[in-house]
């Protein structure tokens, strides 16, 4: 009799998972943030605490994964007679459903809170050399092209050296004044 429960849970969980994969977020907003908010319904994200464990049960994401893996595990174990007792299959299915549901909620919460910054800071510019794109003399502004974090960046540049820079010269960033790089001539240049 439990086979029908497993089949129903697997079918409903599978439909919900496939729907979330193929339909996703069609609002056009920030897909990661709005999808997490959509599936967690604004649930408190106190992950890592006992309260965070219980709030996972209010998440649609938890129930999608719980139902799908509860049903799948039950179908495999009980439907294929891989265990002797239907009770053992039920316990294993409940355990697998809880484990995958809670694990998925925890992973998505951690991913939504991880902050990685690929934006370059002023310290990333100092010590970098690049090619002059727009020539300049002492007291004037020019432009230097640098490669930072795998990205080509054009930055305004000035110098305190008497001899100016022409297009194609190599310049070394020695300081940053807001968004303007203070450059010097590369040794031997």
Q: Can you give the pLDDT at residue 156?
A: 94
Contact 101, 65 (CB under 8 A): yes
Kindly report the backbone phi and psi dihedral angles of residue 170, in degrees, each rounded to the nearest multiple of 5, phi listed first: -95, 130
As a residue count, the chain comes to 189
pLDDT in tens, the chain (189 residues): 788 999 999 999 889 888 888 887 554 444 444 444 444 444 444 545 555 566 777 787 888 899 999 999 999 998 888 888 889 999 999 999 999 988 888 888 777 765 555 667 778 888 999 999 999 998 899 999 998 877 889 999 999 988 889 999 999 999 998 889 999 998 755
Q: Can you give the pLDDT at residue 118?
A: 63
Q: Can you give the pLDDT at residue 150?
A: 78
Q: Can you give the pLDDT at residue 36?
A: 44
- DSSP 3-state of 52: helix
Identify the CA nearest to 20 among candidates 36, 1, 4, 41: 36
Domain boundaries, the chain: 2-113, 122-185
Q: Can you give the pLDDT at residue 53?
A: 62
Q: Which fold has domain 122-185?
A: OB fold (Dihydrolipoamide Acetyltransferase, E2P) (2.40.50)
Q: In angstroms, what CA-CA distances link 77 with 1, 54, 73, 74, 98?
A: 14, 28, 6, 5, 16
Task: Give the tokens for residue 156.
Answer: 């305004």
Q: Can you give the pLDDT at residue 170?
A: 93
The pTM assigned to this predicted structure is: 0.50
Q: Can you give the pLDDT at residue 174?
A: 92
Task: Give the tokens for residue 77.
Answer: 């174990």
Q: Can you give the pLDDT at residue 182?
A: 93
């Amino acid at each position: 009799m439990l086979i029908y429960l497993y089949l129903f849970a697997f079918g409903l969980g599978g439909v919900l998972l496939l729907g979330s994969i193929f339909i996703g977020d069609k609002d056009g907003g920030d897909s990661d943030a709005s999808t997490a908010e959509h599936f967690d319904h604004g649930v408190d994200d106190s992950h890592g605490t006992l309260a965070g464990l219980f709030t996972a049960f209010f998440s649609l994401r938890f129930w999608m994964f719980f139902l799908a893996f509860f049903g799948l595990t039950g179908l495999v174990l009980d439907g294929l007679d891989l265990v002797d007792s239907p009770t053992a299959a039920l316990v294993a299915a409940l355990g697998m459903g809880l484990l995958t549901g809670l694990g998925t909620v925890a992973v998505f919460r951690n991913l939504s809170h991880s902050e990685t910054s690929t934006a370059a800071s002023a310290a990333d510019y100092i010590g970098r050399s690049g090619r002059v794109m727009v020539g300049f003399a002492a007291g004037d502004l020019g432009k230097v092209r640098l490669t930072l974090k795998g990205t080509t960046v054009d930055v305004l540049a000035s110098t305190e050296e008497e001899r100016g820079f022409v297009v194609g010269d190599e310049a070394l960033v020695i300081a940053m004044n807001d968004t303007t790089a203070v450059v010097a001539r590369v040794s031997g240049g």
